[in-house]
Amino acid sequence: MVLVTGGAGYIGSHTCIALHQAGFDFLVFDNLCNSSLESLKRVEKIINKKIKFVEGDIRSKENMQKAFEMYEIDSVIHFAGLKAVGESVELPLKYYDNNINGTLVLLEVMQEYNCKKIVFSSSATVYGDPHTTPIKEDFPLSCTNPYGRTKLFIEEILRDVYRADSDFKIVILRYFNPVGAHQSGTIGEDPNGKPNNLMPFIAQTAVGKHEFLSVFGDDYDTIDGTGVRDYIHVVDLAQGHVNSLQKISSLDGVLTVNLGTGNGYSVLEMVAAFEKASGKKVAYKIAPRREGDIAACFADPAYAKEVLGWSATKELNEMCEDSWRWQSNNPNGYN
Ligand code: NAD
Ligand code: UD1
């Protein structure tokens, strides 16, 4: 049985579908602090199966032990965490407590129940401002905000856990920019309040919730001066977790892998692609650069292919079409 912490969230809910399709039995553990049961209800409809769910907080040893008592858990996919960069600057202790403390409790309980396989959601943010692109896994690591530091610290904690006990099998997945939605249009990304990330902001602008998109800077050293990122379809990303679980037993050491497409698109290219996919106009205005942003960030995806047999399959038009289907069918998200 696979324990999926944070499984009611954006990436977790899509991963539930991929796990089901690959024949894995799983249970979702989530405190619903940034999600609702509605996402899991909709996943149940898609997979036509009831999902095992335990409501709880990863920081609570009792809550975690309850899940391990109820089910025979042999591996964990660990999504649970807070992810808003701006909020992490305002409330660093909240982020260190939730993400780091939560992971420590999870690892302690895993050890207690002799469960030693874990796939962890890291982020390309751990590369800081890369000296060159595409980014390879052995590039130097750094970070510019508390959220990023929680990811980097947890990576280091996992490496220490392996050093102390080489029975542990650990996969660290560094996601680039997840976008898109399941093709049913019934589940997708549902940010709280005004989105910080580009794709949900574009989608909400297209559906009429914002007057225009602010493009953060047009004087970067990129193709058109706007920031370049590696957008990856969330369904491809979900599949990366399935491949990781399929390979994890044969692992030796800690495997750290980029999950990206290897393609970089600028903000203006994203706007144009979204307009094409949706048939809607996305008004935008050039605004000052956002603090902490970098010019370009995209993956070298070769290692993921080599060690996980995984590569992204979905192109930009599909990412935009699927985002639009979700956004236009659910203008207010799950509410
Ligand atoms: P999300 O907020 O949609 O999902 C996270 C889930 O974890 C939510 O359902 C939330 O309720 C749950 N959760 C948070 N704290 C918890 C706690 N203490 N106990 C139990 N459950 C808790 O986010 P997402 O986009 O699905 O991201 C999943 C993971 O991937 C996160 O760790 C995130 O940092 C990481 N990540 C996301 C992105 C991205 O752009 N979405 C990029 C890189 C890495
Ligand atoms: C952001 C986070 C990063 C996190 C990632 C995925 C920051 C500084 N970084 O990265 O830590 O891992 O999300 O969750 O917040 N843009 C606009 N207008 C907008 C929004 C974004 O022009 O309203 C631009 C940005 O300047 C950037 C690109 O769009 O060039 C993508 O932005 P975003 O979706 O926020 O992702 P990242 O900046 O890569």
Closest protein CA for atom 6 of ligand 2: 177
Cα–Cα distance for residue pair 271/199, rounded to 1 Å: 9
The residue whose CB lies within 8 Å of the most ligand 2 atoms, and thus the one to mutate among 177, 194, 224, is 177
User: Which tens digits make up the pLDDT trace of 262-300?
Assistant: 999 999 999 999 999 999 999 999 999 999 999 999 999
User: Which tens digits make up the pLDDT trace of 7-16?
Assistant: 999 999 999 9
Q: What is the pLDDT of residue 234?
A: 98
The phi, psi pair for 284, rounded to 5°, reads: -145, 155
Can you tell me the mean pLDDT for 19-27?
Answer: 98
User: Of 237, 256, 257, 261, whose CA–CA distance to 304 is shortest?
Assistant: 257
- The amino acid sitting at 330 is N
On the question of pLDDT at 302 being above 90, the answer is yes
The residue whose CB lies within 8 Å of the most ligand 2 atoms, and thus the one to mutate among 198, 221, 267, is 198
Question: Which ligand is the nearest neighbour of the Cα of 148?
Answer: 2
User: Of 52, 62, 47, 10, whose CA–CA distance to 29 is shortest?
Assistant: 52
How far, CA to CA in Å, does 13 sit from each of 5, 119, 133, 134?
11, 16, 31, 29
Cα–Cα distance for residue pair 177/124, rounded to 1 Å: 8
Is 214 near ligand 2, meaning CB less than 6 Å away? Answer: yes
Q: Helix/strand/coil (H, E, C) string of the chain?
A: CEEEECCCCHHHHHHHHHHHHCCCCEEEEECCCCCCHHHHHHHHHHHCCCCEEEECCCCCHHHHHHHHHHCCCCEEEECCCCCCHHHHHHCHHHHHHHHHHHHHHHHHHHHHCCCCEEEEEEEHHHECCCCCCCECCCCCCECCCHHHHHHHHHHHHHHHHHHHCCCCEEEEEEECEEECCCCCCCCCCCCCCCCCCHHHHHHHHHCCCCCCEEEECCCCCCCCCCCEECEEEHHHHHHHHHHHHHHHCCCCCEEEEEECCCCCEEHHHHHHHHHHHHCCCCCEEEECCCCCCCCEECECCHHHHHHHCCCCCCCHHHHHHHHHHHHHHCCCCCC
Q: What is the pLDDT of residue 54?
A: 98
Q: What is the pLDDT of residue 335?
A: 87
Cα–Cα distance for residue pair 299/260, rounded to 1 Å: 5
- Rounded to the nearest angstrom, the distance between the alpha carbon of 128 and the centre of ligand 1 is 20
In order of start, what are the domains of the chain with their CATH numbers? 2-181+231-261+300-309 (3.40.50.720)
Closest protein CA for atom 29 of ligand 1: 79
Judge contact between 298 and 228, C-beta under 8 A. yes
Q: What is the pLDDT of residue 249?
A: 95
Is 230 near ligand 1, meaning CB less than 6 Å away? Answer: no
User: Which tens digits make up the pLDDT trace of 41-88?
Assistant: 999 999 999 999 999 999 999 999 999 999 999 999 999 999 999 999
On the question of pLDDT at 21 being above 90, the answer is yes
Catalytic center residues = 147
CB atoms closer than 10 angstroms to residue 161? 20
The structure tokens listed for 306 are 């080599």
Q: What is the pLDDT of residue 192?
A: 86
The residue whose CB lies within 8 Å of the most ligand 1 atoms, and thus the one to mutate among 5, 53, 121, 259, is 121
Can you tell me the mean pLDDT for 237-253?
Answer: 96
Can you tell me the mean pLDDT for 132-143?
Answer: 97
- Rounded to the nearest angstrom, the distance between the alpha carbon of 292 and the centre of ligand 2 is 9
Q: What is the pLDDT of residue 310?
A: 98
Cα–Cα distance for residue pair 235/14, rounded to 1 Å: 6
Closest protein CA for atom 33 of ligand 1: 83
User: Which tens digits make up the pLDDT trace of 184-241?
Assistant: 999 999 988 899 999 999 999 999 999 999 999 999 999 999 999 999 999 999 999 9
The phi, psi pair for 51, rounded to 5°, reads: -100, 135
User: Which tens digits make up the pLDDT trace of 78-113?
Assistant: 999 999 999 999 999 999 999 999 999 999 999 999
pTM reported for the whole predicted model: 0.98
Can you tell me the mean pLDDT for 143-154?
Answer: 96
CA torsion, points 88, 92, 97, 99, in degrees to nearest 10?
30
The phi, psi pair for 155, rounded to 5°, reads: -55, -45
Is 198 near ligand 2, meaning CB less than 6 Å away? Answer: yes
